[in-house]
Amino acid sequence: MKLTTKKLVLTGLAVLAMATISACGSKTTETTAAATEAVTTEATTTEEATTVEESTTEEATTLESSKEATTEETTTEAAESTSVEAETTKAAN
């Protein structure tokens, strides 16, 4: 199916021929479940699976909000753009 091919290319997935995709272009129920199990096993059997780290920067953009969401009066005052250390690994599902 044309669209299926397109979505798979866009998401960079290598999926078996019989696999289908979800509405958002994510993996099938079957493949997702399999992947989850694999990661879960890894997470529960090794300490290295915990990869949550703490950032060291405190800078933030301050936004002053108008309470009237229905109007166009809300202002965005960007103090300074942040430069926070962060991982930039592309997600792939």
Q: Which residue has the tokens 């879960």?
A: 40
Judged by beta carbon, residue 17 or residue 24, the one nearer other proteins is 24
Contact string (CB under 8 A) for other proteins, positions 13-52, x = contact: ---------xxxxxx-x--xx-xxx-xxxxxx----xxxx
Residue in 16, 17, 18, 67 binding other proteins, rule: CB under 8 A:
67
| Closest CA relative to residue 62, chosen from 44, 77, 46 | 77
**Cα–Cα distance between 49 and 51 in angstroms, integer?**
6
H or E, element range at 25 = none
Residue type, 78: A
Q: Which residues bind other proteins (CB under 8 A)?
A: 1-3, 6-7, 10-11, 22-27, 29, 32-33, 35-37, 39-44, 49-57, 59-67, 69-70, 72, 74-76, 81-82, 84-93
